[in-house]
């Protein structure tokens, strides 16, 4: 019976193979319970946010399978929905690389027709150039390493498109992000991690000035990271009262929400939502956040969606399969300079422009190390002579590892963010997409600035990139490395 189930082409089969590839030991330990879980998934469809059912929602259809299934789940749950494709970029300048916007529109329209929902194309090309492309090019010109995906979500998808939706009678916008949104309880809830300060914690009757409870030195790793999930494939799914800090409704009885990592640890995209505000989060919906990718594909195939087997895109946000180097070559003029070995100042060669490199980069530097078992890595950029600084990739490489960093442009999605003068906060940070969370101590230094100390030195933190701020699986906000 078990053999037949494993071999059957079902959502369970696909997710089981996904599990076996990524975590074979856990697959053996949890085989019985996991198969039962997969069987249940194969027969059910996750429900959307409980407060979404009567809210007219605009689904941002990208032409990919993730947003297609997001629309499918909302429709099947009875949520009144319509769909829109954001037309942001059409590669008018003929940059090398595929920009399949026409095919994406065709696929998105086809899915909308299959689901029986209205569809339109919303032209945001001017806003995209102004808010994302200009930001990207300006950053690279100044020697930074911008994050267009984070900025695109904040300024375009949950910025301009969200406002367009509100102006056209919608109350929410849904996307295909692997992330989760959950309502914060009206009463303040403090976790066991902060039990030692619970006596001093404010009560619901006297709302605190911040959502955060300060602690001294680095606290033990949050219990939320070790809570067992009911599914060995999924990330931790703690009740909100077990989250490390304090959460409650905004004064005036306006509901408040927490942003949580997606259930699939291999696909979690919460990092790219690090700069959203509480206001943007209130209007956001993430219907696929509780799914694993194989489960999502299986649901799309079962529904016969046109995008069920479409390959995921890997290019710049909404620009398609365009490589960053090709994009920069088309818009940023070359500015040659020397490649300098940081430890002794020796000139090793010449580069075409600092904008082609980022801190921690190993590939494409263009100079051999001529030393067995060692490779050069970028450890810095020098503005006055356009020098690219390199060193052997070791823990002693000057400038490669850092124990602390300053942030600017800090943005919180919590109802009552911390303020300058508050005690340092023991949190976790994700230093870049795909990296695990690490323990940090954060001190707010200004209206949108902060100082962060890492429990363990971090490698290659490039100015312009984003640090996502976490309380376990709950994403609290983010800031940009100075």
In a domain, 188, yes or no: no
Q: Answer yes or no: do 146 and 294 share one domain.
A: yes
What positions carry a catalytic annotation? Answer: 152, 317
Choose the final residue of a domain: 343, 371, 392.
392
pTM, to two decimals: 0.80
In a domain, 76, yes or no: yes
Nearest to 356 by CA among 131, 99, 96, 144: 144
Range of the domain at 146: 50-180+283-303
Distance CA 398, CA 362 (A): 15
Please list the pLDDT of the chain residue by residue as tens digits (482 residues). 333 333 334 444 544 454 444 444 444 444 444 444 444 444 444 445 545 578 999 999 999 999 999 999 999 999 999 999 999 876 555 555 555 788 999 999 999 999 999 999 999 999 999 999 999 999 999 999 999 999 999 999 999 999 999 999 999 999 999 999 999 876 433 332 233 223 333 333 333 345 554 444 454 444 333 333 334 455 554 444 434 333 444 555 678 999 999 999 999 999 999 999 999 999 999 999 999 999 999 999 999 999 999 998 765 555 556 678 888 888 899 999 999 999 999 999 999 999 999 999 999 999 999 999 999 999 999 999 999 999 999 999 999 999 999 999 999 999 889 999 999 999 999 999 999 999 999 999 999 999 999 999 999 999 999 999 999 999 999 999 99
In the prediction, which pLDDT does 41 show? 46
Q: Answer yes or no: do 410 and 450 share one domain.
A: yes
What is the CATH classification number for the domain harbouring 387?
A: 2.30.30
E strand intervals along 184-274: 257-261
3-class secondary structure, 390? strand
Specify the residue for token string 């082609």.
356
Q: Answer yes or no: do 142 and 6 share one domain.
A: no
Specify the residue for token string 């323990």.
439
Q: Answer yes or no: do 413 and 451 share one domain.
A: yes
In a domain, 272, yes or no: no
In a domain, 370, yes or no: yes
Residues 6+ apart with CB under 8 A from 461: 359, 360, 402, 405, 431, 467, 481
In a domain, 277, yes or no: no
Q: Answer yes or no: do 63 and 96 share one domain.
A: yes
Q: Answer yes or no: do 67 and 101 share one domain.
A: yes
In the prediction, which pLDDT does 329 show? 87
Dihedral angle, C-alpha 350, 356, 359, 360, nearest 10 °: -90
Q: Answer yes or no: do 295 and 421 share one domain.
A: no
Nearest to 274 by CA among 128, 158, 186: 158
Q: Answer yes or no: do 411 and 477 share one domain.
A: yes
Distance CA 9, CA 325 (A): 41
Dihedral angle, C-alpha 53, 64, 62, 95, nearest 10 °: 170
In a domain, 323, yes or no: no
What is the CATH classification number for the domain harbouring 172?
A: 3.40.50.620
For 201-210, which contacts have Cβ atoms below 8 Å and span 24 or more sequence positions? 201/246, 202/246, 204/248, 207/248, 207/251, 207/416, 208/246, 208/416, 209/416, 209/419, 210/246, 210/416, 210/417, 210/418, 210/419, 210/422
Dihedral angle, C-alpha 275, 280, 281, 285, nearest 10 °: -120
Nearest to 414 by CA among 425, 406, 405: 425
Q: Answer yes or no: do 17 and 58 share one domain.
A: no
Choose the final residue of a domain: 392, 416, 434.
392
Q: Answer yes or no: do 474 and 439 share one domain.
A: yes
Q: Answer yes or no: do 293 and 383 share one domain.
A: no
In a domain, 340, yes or no: yes
In a domain, 322, yes or no: no
In the prediction, which pLDDT does 475 show? 98
Q: Answer yes or no: do 12 and 136 share one domain.
A: no
Choose the final residue of a domain: 392, 414, 435.
392
Domain total of the chain = 4
């Amino acid at each position: 019976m078990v053999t037949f189930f494993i071999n059957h082409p079902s959502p369970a089969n696909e997710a089981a193979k996904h599990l076996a590839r990524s975590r074979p030991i856990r697959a053996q330990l949890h085989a019985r319970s996991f198969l039962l879980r997969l069987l249940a998934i194969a027969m059910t469809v996750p429900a959307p946010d409980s407060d979404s059912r009567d809210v007219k929602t605009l689904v941002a259809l990208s032409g990919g399978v993730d947003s297609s299934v997001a629309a499918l789940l909302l429709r099947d749950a009875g949520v009144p929905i319509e769909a829109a494709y954001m037309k942001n970029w059409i590669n008018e300048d003929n940059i090398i690389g595929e920009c399949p916007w026409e095919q994406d529109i065709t696929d998105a329209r086809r899915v909308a027709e299959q689901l029986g929902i209205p569809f339109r194309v919303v032209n945001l090309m001017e806003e995209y150039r102004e808010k994302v492309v200009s930001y990207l090019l300006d950053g690279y010109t100044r020697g930074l390493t911008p994050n267009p995906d984070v900025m695109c979500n904040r300024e375009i998808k949950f910025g301009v498109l969200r406002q367009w939706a509100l102006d056209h009678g919608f109350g929410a916008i849904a996307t295909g992000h692997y992330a989760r949104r959950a309502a914060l309880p009206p009463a303040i809830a403090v976790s066991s991690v902060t039990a030692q300060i619970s006596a001093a914690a404010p009560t619901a009757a006297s709302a605190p000035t911040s959502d955060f409870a300060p602690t001294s030195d680095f606290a033990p790793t949050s219990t939320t990271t070790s809570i067992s999930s009911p599914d060995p494939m999924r990330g931790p799914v703690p009740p909100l009262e077990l989250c490390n800090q304090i959460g409650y409704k905004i004064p005036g009885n306006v509901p408040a929400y927490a942003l949580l990592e997606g259930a699939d640890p291999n696909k979690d995209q919460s990092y790219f939502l690090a700069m959203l505000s509480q206001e943007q989060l209130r209007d956001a919906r993430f219907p696929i956040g509780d799914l694993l990718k194989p489960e999502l594909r299986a649901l799309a195939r079962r529904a016969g969606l046109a995008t069920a087997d479409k390959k995921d895109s890997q290019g710049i946000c909404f620009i398609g399969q365009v490589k960053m180097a090709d994009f920069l070559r088309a818009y940023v003029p070359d500015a040659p300079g020397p490649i300098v070995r940081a430890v002794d100042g020796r000139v090793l060669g010449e580069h075409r422009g600092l904008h082609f490199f980022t801190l921690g980069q190993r590939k494409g530097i263009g100079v051999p190390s001529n030393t067995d078992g060692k490779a050069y890595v970028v450890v810095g950029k020098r503005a006055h002579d356009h020098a690219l600084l390199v060193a052997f990739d070791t823990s002693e490489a000057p400038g490669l590892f850092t124990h602390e960093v300053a942030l600017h442009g800090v943005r919180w999605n919590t109802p009552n963010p911390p303020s300058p003068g508050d005690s340092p906060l023991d949190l976790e940070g994700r230093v870049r997409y795909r990296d695990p969370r690490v323990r940090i101590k954060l001190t707010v230094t200004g209206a949108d600035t902060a100082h962060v100390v890492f429990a363990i030195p971090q490698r290659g933190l490039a100015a312009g990139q984003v640090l996502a701020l976490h309380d376990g699986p709950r994403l609290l906000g983010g800031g940009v490395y100075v």
